[in-house]
Structure 1
Amino acid sequence: MKLNLQNYKTLIIVILFFVVEYIFLKDLPFFWDAVSKSMRAQWFYETNFSQLVLPVNLNSGHPPFWPVLIAVWWKSFGVTLAKSRVLLLIINILVGFQLIKLFKNTFPKKQNHLLVLIILLEPTLLAQTTIFNNDMILLLFTLMAYNIIVFSKEKKELLLTFAFTGILFSNLRGMLLLFCLLVIQLIFIRYKLSTKKFNYKPYLISILFFSVFLIYQYSVLGWIIKTPSVNWSEQRNVADVYNILKNIASIGRNLLDYGRIVLFGITFYLLYFLFKKKQFHPSKTSIKLMISIVVFTVGMSIFFMFFTNPIGHRYYMISYILVVLLFLVLVDNYKTILNYKRLYVIVIIAFITGHFWIYPSTISQGWDSSLAYLNYFKLRDDIELFIEKNKILKENIGTNLPLNEKEYSDLLKVDEK
C-alpha cells in the first residue's frame, strides 16, 4: 500500500487515537493474564536473561517472546507503568497501520477515516489495546501476514517469514493461526482468487525457527507445549462430551458478545436480503473476506472445543475485524438500496454499549474483553482498605487475586539498581 496524503491523514488520526488512550491510561496497572506476563518479564529482568526458557512454576508453555521484549524494554528505558505502556503504544500504532493497509486493500479507491475508526471501536479489540497482554503483538503479526498473503502482488518472502515467525513466537495459538493462513492461501490459489504461486519457504523457515526453540526448551525442561505446572496443566486436557458442548456454547457466546450480535445480525441479514432479492453479486474482495472469516473462526473453534482451556473472547479478534470489514463492504456496495448511515450508527452504538454488558456472577464475564474492566482497580483498592481496616489476615482469605498480584501488576517488585 502506497501512502498518499489521505492515507497519512488516516494514519495520523489512528496515532492520535492511541496517543490519547495512552495519556488517559499511562499509569494503568497490568491486568488479568497480563499480570503473568509481568511476572515472567520480571524474572528475565532480574536474572539478566540467564536463559531464554522460564522455570516450570512460571511457564505456561507459551513462547516467552513478549515477556522477553518487555524485559528488554525495561532494561533500556526503566521500569514504570508509564514507560512500559509506551511499548504497548508502539504495538498499537503498528496494529493500526496494518488495519489501515487492510482497509485500503479492501477499499482501494475509498477515503473514509470514520470507517477505520469503526474497526478500532470493536469492543474486544479496543479493550486489548489497553491491556499489556501478548494478544496485540500476535494480532500485529497476523494482520501483517494476512495483508501479504491476501492482497500483496509481490512475494515479500522475507517480510512474510518475519510475520510467520512472530506469530509462532507470540503465543501457542500462533500455530493455529499459521495453519489457518495456510488454508486460506491454498483455497485462494485453488479457486484462482490469487495470482501468486504458493511459496512454502516462509512457512518452512518460520516453523524451523520455532522447532529450534522447542528443542532448546526440551533440553532445559524436558517438556514442550503442555506444561507440568499445576497452574496451567489442567487447561490443556482433552474435554469430555459435556465440556465440548459447553465449549461450543462458549464460542457462540464470545462471537456475539459485547454488541457483536448486532454486527453479526446485520451482516448476515444483509447477505440473506441480497441473496433473496437476487441482487448479491459478490466482488472478489467480499468472497475473500467470507472465506477468511469461515477459515479463521471454524479452524480455531474446531481445536478449542476439544480442550479444557477456557476460551477467551480475544482469541477471535481477527475474525471480528474481518466481519466488520465484510459489513463495511456490503454496505458500501449496496448503499444505493440501503440506509448506510443509519447502519453505521447502529453498529457504533452497539460497540459502545457493548462495554456495559455485565453478566450475573454465575456467568463468566471475560473481563479483559471490554472496557468494563477499568472499574476493577478502584474496587481492588477498596478491598485492600477494607481488609486493612478490619485487620483481616490474608491467609484466611480464599482468593489469589488481587492480594498476591499488586507487586507485579503495579510493578512494585522490580529492583532497578
Structure 2
Amino acid sequence: MHYAHFGWIGFNRSSDWGTYAALASPYELARNIGLIIWRLLDFGRVTLWLLVLVLLWHMRKRVPVGIKELLILLLVPLLTLGSILVWFTNPIAHRYWLVVYVFLGFLSARLLLEVKSTALRWSVLALMVVSLVSGHFWIYPQRIAKGWDATMAHLPYYQLRKDMLLYLDQQQIPWQAVGTDFPNVAPPSKTDLSSEARMLAPKDLATQSYILYSNVFNGFTDQELDALASNWTVEKELRKGQVYMRLYKRK
C-alpha cells in the first residue's frame, strides 16, 4: 500500500536526500564501517562497550540467561541496521542507533550486577556516568561533522538564533538577504511555534552579501569555510556554551 500510494519504499530518490541512496563504492563501504564504529563509541559510550566486552569475557563460561537475552536484543538491531546502512552513501547519523544505545545501557547495568565487589561495582558505575556526561562536551574541529542533535551541547543554539534574528531586524538587514544552511533555513513559524513567516535564504556565497554560520551546521563545505575566512568579515558573533553563531559580511 505504501508503494502504491507514494511510489517508493525505504527511500525516495526524488527527495532532497535522494542522492544519498546510491550504492557505496569500496572506499565508501570502508568509510561507512568506520562511521558506524565511531557513532557507537561517540559521546562517551566507549566506556560502556569496554565494560560489556570485559565482563562478557570474564563470565564467558557461564553467562546468565537474562544477560544472553539482553545481548540478543542488542545485537539484532545492531547487525540489522549495520548490514543495511553500510551499502549506501547515506549519512549515518547517531539517531539511527537509538535502540542499540538503549539496550547497551540495559546490558551494561545488568552486567554490573554480576560484579561481586561493591566497591568495584560503584567505581565502574561512576566511571560510566562520568564518561557519558563528558560526551556532551565532545566538540570536534570545525571541518568534522558532529551529531549535535545527539548531545545536549546544542541547547544554546536556540537562544543564539533568536538573538541573531533580532540583531538582523535592529540593523534593518532583510532576512532574505542572508544566506544560511540547515537547520536554520526554516521560518520560525515552523520551528519556534511563532507566527513569524519570514525566513533566511539558502546559502550562496557567490551572490549574497551576508552569510549566517554556526558551528552546529554541518552543511558548509571546507571550501566554503575557507572562503568565509579569507573573503568575508565577521559582522556579528554570538557565543553561549560551546555554540557560536557568526554573521559574515562580504569584504
Shift of 1:342: 1.2
1:397 pairs, out of 172, 175, 179, with: 179
Please tell me whether residue 324 in structure 1 is matched to residue 105 in structure 2. yes
SS across alignment from 1:333: coil
TM-score (norm 1): 0.43
Q: Which residue of 2 aligns with 1:71?
A: none
In structure 1, C-alpha distance between the alignment counterparts of 2:39 and 2:157, rounded to whole Å: 21
In structure 2, C-alpha distance between the alignment counterparts of 1:378 and 1:401, rounded to whole Å: 14
Please tell me whether residue 250 in structure 1 is matched to residue 35 in structure 2. yes
SS across alignment from 2:186: coil
Alignment check: 8 A CA contact 2:11 2:18 kept: yes
SS across alignment from 1:339: helix
Alignment check: 8 A CA contact 2:2 2:8 kept: no
SS across alignment from 1:397: strand
1:222-301 aligned at under 5 Å gives the runs 222-275=7-60, 280-301=61-82
TM-score (norm 2): 0.69
Shift of 1:399: 3.1
**Higher strand fraction (1 or 2):** 2
Evaluate the alpha carbon distance shift between residue 272 and residue 405 of structure 1 in structure 2; reply closer, same or farther with a 3 A threshold. Answer: farther
Name the structure, 1 or 2, with higher relative contact order (CA <8 Å, separation 6+).
1
Cα deviations by residue, 1:115-173 (Å, 9 ceiling, x for unpaired):
xxxxxxxxxxxxxxxxxxxxxxxxxxxxxxxxxxxxxxxxxxxxxxxxxxxxxxxxxxx
Evaluate the alpha carbon distance shift between residue 307 and residue 413 of structure 1 in structure 2; reply closer, same or farther with a 3 A threshold. Answer: farther
Which amino acid letter does the alignment assign opposite residue 265 of structure 1?
Answer: L
Shift of 1:345: 1.4
Which amino acid letter does the alignment assign opposite residue 296 of structure 1?
Answer: P
Shift of 1:398: 4.8
Shift of 1:335: 2.3
Cα deviations by residue, 1:352-389 (Å, 9 ceiling, x for unpaired):
22111111121111111111111111221233234342
Q: Which residue of 1 aligns with 2:164?
A: 383
In structure 1, C-alpha distance between the alignment counterparts of 2:39 and 2:120, rounded to whole Å: 28
Q: Which is further off, 233-242 or 301-310?
A: 233-242
In structure 2, C-alpha distance between the alignment counterparts of 1:334 and 1:393, rounded to whole Å: 59
In structure 1, C-alpha distance between the alignment counterparts of 2:190 and 2:89, rounded to whole Å: 27
Shift of 1:332: 0.8
In structure 2, C-alpha distance between the alignment counterparts of 1:223 and 1:295, rounded to whole Å: 25
Q: Which residue of 2 aligns with 1:107?
A: none
Q: Which residue of 2 aligns with 1:314?
A: 95
Which amino acid letter does the alignment assign opposite residue 381 of structure 1?
Answer: K
In structure 1, C-alpha distance between the alignment counterparts of 2:58 and 2:189, rounded to whole Å: 54
> Matched residue pairs, number?
196
In structure 2, C-alpha distance between the alignment counterparts of 1:282 and 1:393, rounded to whole Å: 61
Please tell me whether residue 408 in structure 1 is matched to residue 193 in structure 2. no
1:66-145 aligned at under 5 Å gives the runs none
In structure 1, C-alpha distance between the alignment counterparts of 2:182 and 2:76, rounded to whole Å: 38
Cα deviations by residue, 1:60-105 (Å, 9 ceiling, x for unpaired):
xxxxxxxxxxxxxxxxxxxxxxxxxxxxxxxxxxxxxxxxxxxxxx
1:171-190 aligned at under 5 Å gives the runs none
In structure 1, C-alpha distance between the alignment counterparts of 2:11 and 2:177, rounded to whole Å: 31
Which amino acid letter does the alignment assign opposite residue 44 of structure 2?
Answer: G
Alignment check: 8 A CA contact 1:263 1:327 kept: yes
Evaluate the alpha carbon distance shift between residue 400 and residue 314 of structure 1 in structure 2; reply closer, same or farther with a 3 A threshold. Answer: closer
SS across alignment from 1:306: coil
1:10-89 aligned at under 5 Å gives the runs none
1:365-376 aligned at under 5 Å gives the runs 365-376=146-157
Evaluate the alpha carbon distance shift between residue 225 and residue 297 of structure 1 in structure 2; reply closer, same or farther with a 3 A threshold. Answer: closer
In structure 2, C-alpha distance between the alignment counterparts of 1:374 and 1:396, rounded to whole Å: 23
Alignment check: 8 A CA contact 1:235 1:309 kept: yes
Cα deviations by residue, 1:264-302 (Å, 9 ceiling, x for unpaired):
112212223444xxxx51111111222232222122111
Alignment check: 8 A CA contact 1:331 1:338 kept: no
Which amino acid letter does the alignment assign opposite residue 234 of structure 1?
Answer: T
In structure 2, C-alpha distance between the alignment counterparts of 1:243 and 1:337, rounded to whole Å: 46
Alignment check: 8 A CA contact 1:257 1:354 kept: yes
In structure 1, C-alpha distance between the alignment counterparts of 2:166 and 2:88, rounded to whole Å: 39
In structure 1, list runs of 5 or more residues that go unmatched.
1-211
CA RMSD of superposed structures (Å) = 2.6
Shift of 1:413: 5.0
In structure 1, C-alpha distance between the alignment counterparts of 2:71 and 2:21, rounded to whole Å: 31
Which amino acid letter does the alignment assign opposite residue 3 of structure 2?
Answer: L
Please tell me whether residue 349 in structure 1 is matched to residue 138 in structure 2. no
Evaluate the alpha carbon distance shift between residue 303 and residue 324 of structure 1 in structure 2; reply closer, same or farther with a 3 A threshold. Answer: same
Evaluate the alpha carbon distance shift between residue 343 and residue 386 of structure 1 in structure 2; reply closer, same or farther with a 3 A threshold. Answer: same
1:201-220 aligned at under 5 Å gives the runs 212-215=1-4, 217-218=5-6
**Higher helix fraction (1 or 2):** 1
In structure 2, list runs of 5 or more residues that go unmatched.
198-251
